Structure 1
Amino acid sequence: MNKLSRIFRPFHIPPKKKIKIFKEKDTLSKGYKLLSNYGIIGQSSTGMYHVLPMGQRSIDKLIKLISSQMKLIGAQKMSQPLLTKQSLWEESETFEKSKDELYIITDRAENRFILSPTHEQALTNLLSRELMSYRDFPQLLYQITPKFRNEHRPKLGLLRSKEFLMKDLYSFDINEEEAAKSYNKVSQAYENFFQLIGIDYCRIECLQEQNVNRSHEYYYISDVGDDKLYSCDHCNSKFHEDYVRSKNKCPSCLSFLNEDHFVNAIEIGHTFSFGTYFSDHLGSCYVNIDCKRSPLHMCSFGIGISRLISASVEILSTDEELRWPLAIAPYSVCIIPPKAGSREEIEVELLLPKIYELLEGIPNLNDDILIDDRTEKTIGKRFLEAKLFGFPFIIIVGKDATQETPLYELHDLNNEKKYLMPMSLLTQYLVEQMHFDDSNINIVLS
């Protein structure tokens, strides 16, 4: 059984008389304060954070969700070195415009390396050494690794940090048409992933930049976001502020855009189509049907895994209580048994393992149930903490469970509902609520 008393979770309930702990710039983010106060993350230094056991469980769930989508489209998981030779960035002409945000390391032989914020250069270089046939493509290669950016203004915890966990995928194809198919396939998988999380998001087309043929960004709407998105009053399409400054017209209906109608947003994903840019600079080719060398077409796709944790709770939480998307809550169910020494304790003691085993048999609840075994505390105090932490479902096993027909108090926090019901109805309710999977999601495989 998972027991709360055994989990490392520095849990601090702020006093009613507020004590100034955070810098003024961070007080805007309730998500950051809650994640820090309730033992999800812990600051190591400016812009650097420990992810504590509860936070790691949430990240592991995110990784499982995105990996399931990658498997459906045939993407292959790999790992790349965190250090990339600076010379590759120079050869690809990407070093100068990025060097202010790069961590550069010099080894004892005076070789210079970059703590990678992205891996287009490294992976393209790898493929330049492997002359493959046109029959070997497409290739969809992804990883989930720490990335590094020398942020000038790190803030709001994991929303803008110097080290962050990212899922990045790189596709390689033999021509522009095939690259477009890969771009659409991975983009659809990304949309499926965001649907599984269950928070409303928007996908917007970006202005074409140098070296980029096509690009889209994914956003959560939030007051603490650094980006501004504008909406067209006529067709409701959304655009980044860079687009408005550049064109000031909606590309969908050609109406003029109102610069006063914007919302703040947090970027959670980005997709790029680079064409043959990196291949031309770093020499990655394949052998075509005529036995001649041709440059590979490349696309790049990224999702900020650690940022998603902060962004999710920022959007869903209250000022004092965490709220999690059901699919990525550290534990979905918290069971609160009677206080030690109470009349109910002995009667429930034998019942508790059976309840735990029964609930673990529900789909998506295996190893996802936590017992608050700190029975020296009252049920009320433990329930208050469970609400603050935001366990989606809290089950109180109290005096009603000792009746001839045992009844259990179920709190559904995300839907703000409370029930008193027998175990048969409780399990039926959880089966219905925990049914989030890929069965009703559109998967594009071509």
Structure 2
Amino acid sequence: NPYNAENFVEQDIVQNIYNTEKLIQRVEIEKLYSDLDLEAGAEDRKVKNLNDEKCIYRVPDALRKSNEAIYTPQEVSIGPIHHYKKKLQPMKAEKGRYLREFRSRVVGKTKEQQMNFMVKIWNTIKEDEEKIRRCYEDGAHEVVEKNQFVEMVLFDAVFILEYLLRNKDIEKYEDDSLLRRKGARFRIRRDFLLLENQLPFFILEKLYYHLLQDSEGNYTSFRDLASEYLTRYNERTYKPSDNKEILHFTDLVRSSLSVKHPDSRIDEPIGKFYSATKLHEAAINFKELRNECLLDVRFSSTKGELRMPRLLIDVNTEHLFGNVIALEQCHYRGEEYICHYIKLLDTLVAKPKDVDLLIKNKIIDTDRDGASVKNLIDKLSAETSEEYSIYYNLYKQLDQHYRDSWLKNSAYFREVYFGNLWRSTATVSAAVLLLFTFVQTICAVVALR
């Protein structure tokens, strides 16, 4: 009876949770798996073509070639795309350890209670196996066999849940080898954000809900737990609405960064724009907009102020924006809010001196020099190709203010005639020569009289 045989294999997997090393290696059981439901599962995947559920993508080559490291996990694989990467295999033992610790959270902690809990976790993933696969751009073909896929999701999902719970109560788990090593914590946090290194958010929420039902203690919602963990990537603790569907961790960060943004998107090219220093020369001052969403940029023509939330630029910045940009280009066509923001930065930062001005006015917070920041913004902007923008009205307002400013001519004069040392020297020399010529002419006229 195939059903009974499959059920036997599932029970065997759960039993072996108590022997993690055997569960991880278990060559003989994997051979048995290969004969179960493979044909039926393959037929199901051929019939279903629900592209609307895709949300986890391979980063396009055009983006990846610029800096492959920011899209590739360094410490832990999550999901099928990097599942078999050799350098990530040592983390399997840690996933097994976390699986044992996770089941110990069950009320009563008897073997039977823990067994029933893990069976529930297994069956939940199994029931949603096809739905989970459809979240991946290519159907997650790296892990074809059904039970191997379910097992992979179980280990990765439980690792995420247990790791986030331990981070929330880190003092209690100070002896945990993963939490004790700052380098590992840093790399895991970054790996959790990678577009290619994701599990669908819905399955994590389901499994976490089972934990809330069957365990003791005070647990926050999974959305809150995940948001709190990822706030290091976003100074402001904005949380997307509970009604907003979250696809995965990369999407959660994007949603947090873009909770508030301009609504207008006019299908006209954004036209001319000016750098930060040129705007400043035209009597436009830069002011930090405190406690607001990063994309919430405002201009007051009456005050002549361009107000922007502070942007932190550090070792995480390229990694953060690179993966969010990749997600937008793959999934959010017509809603590339982060791409539009990067383009806005790119127009403001034409030269290193523009960066210095923004740093001075607390728009950019960084310990890097102006040239380094400009280079980073140039790299990120090169990955976007937006002619249109949610900041269209802002561009138009600034352009109008610049052209109407009574300082425009003096700003233009300074730029043209005193833009650098050689130009300034030439301008002064020409002015002195003209003055001497004028005096000489006056003297000649007086002498004639």
Same fold, TM exceeding 0.5? no
- Give the alignment's TM-score, normalised by structure 2: 0.26
| Greater relative contact order, per chain length (Cα 8 Å cut-off, separation 6+) | 1
Which structure's residues are more often helix, by fraction? 2
- Give the alignment's TM-score, normalised by structure 1: 0.27
